[in-house]
Amino acid sequence: MAIAISRIILVTLTVLHYRAISVSFTQLFSGSFEGWTITDTESNNFSITDGILLVEGPDGWLKSDHEYGDFELDVEFRFMTNDADSGIFVRATGTEPFSRGWPNQSYQVQMLNPLGGSPYPPVGALFRHGMPDGETNYKDALVREISEPTGIWQTLFITALGDKVSASLNGVSVMSAQNITNASGYIGIQGETGAVEFRSLKIREL
């Protein structure tokens, strides 16, 4: 009897634990520009139709109104062109852009379509803009294998915790980086080349 009760308690606590995790994610993008600011562009390249965010080139970024330190970010996106190139800025603190309106003193999780033939690493890689170097483990060949074709929805899951940032593409770990020196900063979406759509950005602060 005692064993049965203990099992019931364990199952209940487990369910409550996972329910709490699920509830603690909140929508950072929920179909409008509320909570965001279009920054350093006059190109009208950030637009929303039927709750879907379309990000196009050639410049600027969509900046969160609040700063975030340790968090998990769940991004649902799809490349709309083969040459699509965007990115998710994390812990961005720079007040001056380094190029084409993009924030300096920031980290960028790459969102480049592998089908475009660019020499740069595709989706999931990490760039350090005006920040110290650090060890980065990126699985380029694996990303090219698991990335979905143009027009298909995908997920990019980013974790920033302490001095580390990691990313998973479609549920598979593809990048881990160390020596992340900014303790907090803004989250942003980069406008660079081609077109990328976003239908959800959910965040859970850790």
SS3 87: strand
Look at residue 203 and tell me whether its pLDDT is greater than 90: yes
Output 138-145 pairs: Cβ under 8 A, ≥24 positions apart.
138/174, 138/175, 139/173, 139/174, 139/175, 142/172, 142/174, 143/114, 143/169, 143/174, 144/114
Kindly report, residue by residue over 17-43, the tens digit of the pLDDT. 444 445 599 999 989 999 999 999 999
Per-residue model confidence (pLDDT) at position 15: 41
> Does residue 11 have a pLDDT over 60?
no
pLDDT of amino acid 2: 53
Nearest CA to 48 among 64, 66, 25, 30?
30
Type and span of the H or E element at 85 = strand 85-92
- How would residue 95 be classed by pLDDT, with cut points 50, 70 and 90? confident
User: Cα–Cα distance between 126 and 111 in angstroms, integer?
Assistant: 10
For the stretch 165-181, pLDDT in tens is 999 999 999 999 999 99
pLDDT of 23: 58
The yes-or-no verdict on residue 1 having pLDDT over 70 is no
The answer to whether the CB of 89 falls within 8 A of the CB of 61 is yes
Report the percent of the chain where pLDDT is more than 90. Answer: 86
When pLDDT is averaged across residues 79-91 and rounded to a whole number, the result is 98
Q: Phi and psi dihedrals of 144, rounded to 5? A: -65, -25
What's the pLDDT band for 94 if we cut at 50, 70, 90?
confident
For each of the domains in the chain, give its residue range(s) and CATH number, in order of start.
Answer: 28-205 (2.60.120.560)
